[in-house]
Amino acid sequence: MSKPRRKDEIPALDESLLPKRRKPVPHAFVLDAIASLSPYTRPMFGCLAIYVKDKIVLILRDKLTSAADNGVWLATTEEHHESLRREFPNMRSIQVLGKPVTGWQVLPTDASDFEMAALHACELVLAEDPRIGKVPGARTSRSKSKSGGKSERGRRMWSASHAVSPVFGLFLRR
**pLDDT by residue (tens digit) across 38-94?**
999 999 988 999 999 999 999 999 999 999 999 999 999 999 999 999 999 999 999
Determine how many CB atoms are found less than 10 A away from the CB of residue 75. Answer: 22
pLDDT of 174 strictly over 50? no
Torsion of CA 122, 37, 62, 71, to 10 degrees: -20
* Partners of 47 in the β-ladder: 44
Please state the domain count of the chain.
1
pLDDT band (50, 70, 90) for residue 168: very low
On whether residue 1 sits in a domain, the answer given is no
Backbone angles phi, psi at 74, to 5 degrees: -100, 130
CA–CA distance, 87 with 121 (Å, rounded to integer): 9
pLDDT tens digits for range 107-136: 999 999 999 999 999 999 999 999 999 999
**Angstrom distance (rounded) from CA 67 to CA 100:** 17
**Within a domain: 113:** yes
